[in-house]
Copies of this chain bind each other. A is one copy, B any other.
Amino acid sequence: MNKEHLDDLISYLKFPSVSTDSQYKENVRECAEWLSDKINLVGLESSIYQTAGHPIVVGRNKHSSDKPTVMIYGHYDVQPADPIDLWESPPFEPLIKEGKIYARGSTDNKGQNLAHLLGLGETISESGELPVNIIYLVEGEEEIGSPNLEPFLLEHKDELKCDVVAVSDTGMIGPGIGTFTYGLRGVACMEVKVIGPSKDLHSGVFGGAVANPCAAMSKMIASLHDLEGRVRVEGFYDKVKEIEDWEKAEWSKIQVDENETLNLTGSPDLFGEVGYSDNERRWSRPTAEINGIGGGYQGEGSKTVIASESFVKLSFRLVPDQDPEEILNLVKSHLDDHKPPGVRVEYEMGHSGKAYLMDPQSGYGLAAQKALKTTFDSDPALIREGGSIPIVQSFKDILGVDTLLLGLALPDCQIHSPNENFSIENFYDGIRLNRNLINEIGSAF
């Protein structure tokens, strides 16, 4: 284990490259520049591409027409660190403790994309060259839905032509168990504002005579689900592809114990759509989630007001073959239909991406499974995942290629939560996985 690799990771994690919040714009740019320097140092040639948002960093070796071309995709931007007071160590001061490194972005996704880069570096320093053509592409807007990556792919389609994409931004079902993810849920986001009086009103003076935007919004939100965890929006399930029998069988073998999920989440109880197992609910069923809600008095004690407005941030996890835009429109119609009297509603549509599904028995799918088997010395698990990497569908649509999802995230890595961490063992396994993967692909194609 090369100690310098860990030092590199620590440097990378110190940048608060929060893409959603404009106050971090300069930090995001500095992070891109650090990564670009690192790409050059390992022996690839780096370019930074400005976009309408945060920059995209691309590293390449010298391409040769007799080798397959592999694009490795990752992202250097991170989620916001809040709620900041629940972190046990500062989110941008990486801390190593009991075999893990704690920092925002450690697993999602800096630790994983850096492992690939360092794997490429090791191969180059040992062999002088790589067995494949590499396009190492790392963007800075994954956490806000990659608004500028698709335009970039379209604009640079010829230079980005490749045979397959590899991404480590998904999970392993447990420590040391290589995991091949052949499907992802999509996502569609919207923010809804419910508007009542033009200013906060005294709830004694006016209570009972005007609609309360917080109460009206609650009625609208409450209408989204039935009591058995199903989404009640008309047409929401119309295009949902049912789970195949071999998937049900494969997933039931690796279904963790209910208590383990309870421990992992700290939830009082599991709760979800009736008729589906925990894995099925998370990997292959669509959801409607409230990500944030607010309105009225937020301070200490009480303030008897009727708020002027309230908001809810909604996101929908989608599965094949739901269409994000269609779903957002169905939801908007549903909410309009369930709007109580006396308030106005404004919608702002957010980022979205389709769900993704590939055939794990394809040539590249089998090469990926071999690399996993070599790295972890056992048959990999075949799963789908609940999270969304909308860009994977764009790779399919624009570049016409599948994406191999070879994740290194452990179930307790706390991505998007306080105390996010990355297993240091997985970091070094990731470096080896990269080396095995390009060897498998280089020899098979």
Other CB < 8 Å A-B pairs besides A205-B415, A207-B289, A212-B290, 5 of them? A82-B299, A211-B267, A215-B222, A218-B290, A292-B298
CB distance from A222 to the nearest CB of B (A): 3
> Using a CB-CB cutoff of 8 Å, which residues 259-291 of chain A contact chain B?
261, 265-273, 278, 281-282, 285-291
Q: Smallest CB-CB separation from A185: which chain B residue?
A: B204
Q: Decide if A343 is an interface residue (CB 8 Å cutoff).
A: yes
User: Are A269's CB and B199's CB within 8 A?
Assistant: no
Task: Decide if B387 touches A204 in the complex (CB within 8 Å).
Answer: yes
A25 in the interface (beta carbon within 8 A): no
CB < 8 Å: which of B266, B291, B302 contacts A296? B291
Contact in complex: B210, A300 (CB < 8 Å):
no
Q: Given the known A-B contacts A218-B222, A302-B315, are A418 and B207 also in contact in the complex, defined by CB atoms under 8 Å?
A: no
Please, which residue of chain B has its CB at the minimum distance from the CB of A316? Answer: B207
Some 15 contacts from A to B, beta carbons below 8 A apart, are A20-B303, A82-B297, A86-B199, A144-B301, A171-B205, A185-B204, A202-B387, A203-B291, A205-B387, A218-B218, A218-B219, A227-B340, A289-B304, A290-B307, A303-B313
B20–A289 CB distance below 8 A: no
Q: Which residues of A contact B (CB under 8 A)?
A: 20-22, 79-80, 82-83, 86, 144-145, 171, 185, 187, 189, 191, 195-212, 214-215, 217-219, 221-225, 227, 229, 261, 265-273, 278, 281-282, 285-308, 310, 312-313, 315, 317, 340-344, 350-351, 385-388, 414-419
Contact between A20 and B290, CB atoms less than 8 A apart: no
Residue of B nearest to A213 (CB): B290
**Complex partner residue of A267 from B197, B267, B290, B313, CB under 8 angstroms:** B197
Beta-carbon contact of B261 and A209 below 8 Å: yes
How far, in whole Å, are A23 and B341 apart by their CA atoms in the complex?
39
Min CB distance, A319 to chain B, in Å?
Answer: 10
Q: In whole angstroms, how far apart are the Cα atoms of A419 and B201 in the complex?
A: 12
Contact across chains for B268 and A343 when beta carbons are under 8 A apart: yes
Contact A270 B79 (CB under 8 A): no
* A291 touching B265, Cβ below 8 Å: no
Which residues of the partner chain B approach A304 to less than 8 Å between Cβ atoms?
187, 189, 289, 291, 315, 416
